[in-house]
């Protein structure tokens, strides 16, 4: 089976812009979770989508949003970018949910200037 | 509250054995995961423990003591490629939407020749 894929791998944006990241899960996985990873904070859970519905949400501001399509592919959007949004954004898929074994994609490295 | 503690950094010598500890405090423990993350790459699943005892997988073993809120990952016959960050994650809560994963900040292991 193909693994989790994420596009793009690298992004450079400026403050105030918005960005959309894409994730394709492992075939058959209906749960897609998004994480932000920074050196100081580690892995921070953003949200989980399951069968096109947001099922769980972390403690991030409303500027961070997402959606999932009927083929389980997911997108994450960050509006009004801030310098502190610079991070590695990881997508993970799972068969049952975000509290089960996670299979991570390679991540999108976002730099906000 | 909910908390996971891991050492920030460890060093070891090629061919040796190293033990990476993880202590946790959660309200409803329901399993513990270990992931490996090489620099610039995605985390990959290593092991899962839900019952007390030792789980062995080749050179890697993971131990759990639920009464002590303690786990360790044991790496034997260290190789240079084992240089990576090792993440401990605890599943908290019963089945269903109340479950969540709590992530440690990771232990950066450097294996020296």
- Tens digits of residue pLDDT in B39-64: 988 999 999 999 999 999 999 999 99
pLDDT tens for the 113 residues of chain A, in order: 689 999 999 999 999 999 999 999 999 999 999 999 998 888 999 999 999 999 888 889 999 999 999 999 999 999 999 999 999 999 999 988 877 889 999 999 999 99
- Indicate yes or no: CB of A42 within 8 angstroms of CB of B104: yes
User: Which phi and psi (to 5°) does residue B84 adopt?
Assistant: -175, 175
Nearest to A1 by CA among A73, A107, A108, A103: A103
Which of B87, B93, B99 comes nearest A43 by C-beta?
B87
As a whole number of Å, the end-to-end CA separation of chain A is: 37
CB A25 within 8 A of CB A72: yes
- Indicate yes or no: CB of A99 within 8 angstroms of CB of B44: no
Give contacts of A102 with chain B, Cβ < 8 Å: 33, 35, 43, 45, 101
Give contacts of B46 with chain A, Cβ < 8 Å: none
User: Chain B, 12-41: which have a CB under 8 Å from a chain A CB?
Assistant: 30, 33, 35, 41
């Amino acid at each position: 089976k193909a693994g989790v894929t994420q596009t793009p791998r690298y992004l450079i944006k400026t403050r105030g812009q918005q960005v959309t990241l894409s994730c394709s899960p492992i075939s058959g996985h209906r749960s897609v979770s998004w994480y932000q990873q920074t050196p100081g904070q580690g892995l921070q859970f953003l949200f989980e989508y399951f069968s096109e519905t947001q099922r769980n949400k972390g403690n991030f501001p409303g500027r961070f949003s997402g959606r999932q399509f009927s083929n389980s592919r997911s997108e994450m959007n960050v509006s009004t970018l801030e310098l502190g949004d610079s991070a590695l954004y990881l997508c993970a898929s799972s068969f049952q949910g975000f509290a089960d074994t996670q299979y991570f994609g390679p991540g999108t490295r976002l730099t906000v200037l | 509250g909910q908390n996971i503690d891991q050492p920030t950094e460890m060093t070891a010598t090629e061919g040796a054995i190293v033990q990476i500890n993880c202590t946790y405090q959660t309200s409803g423990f329901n399993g513990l995961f270990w992931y490996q993350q090489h620099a610039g790459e995605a985390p990959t699943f290593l092991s899962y423990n839900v019952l007390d005892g030792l789980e062995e997988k080749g050179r890697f073993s993971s131990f759990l003591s639920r009464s002590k809120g303690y786990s360790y990952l044991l790496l034997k016959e260290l190789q240079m490629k084992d240089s990576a960050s090792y993440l401990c994650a605890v599943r908290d809560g019963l089945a269903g939407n109340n479950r969540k994963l709590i992530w440690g900040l990771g232990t950066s292991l450097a294996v020296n020749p």
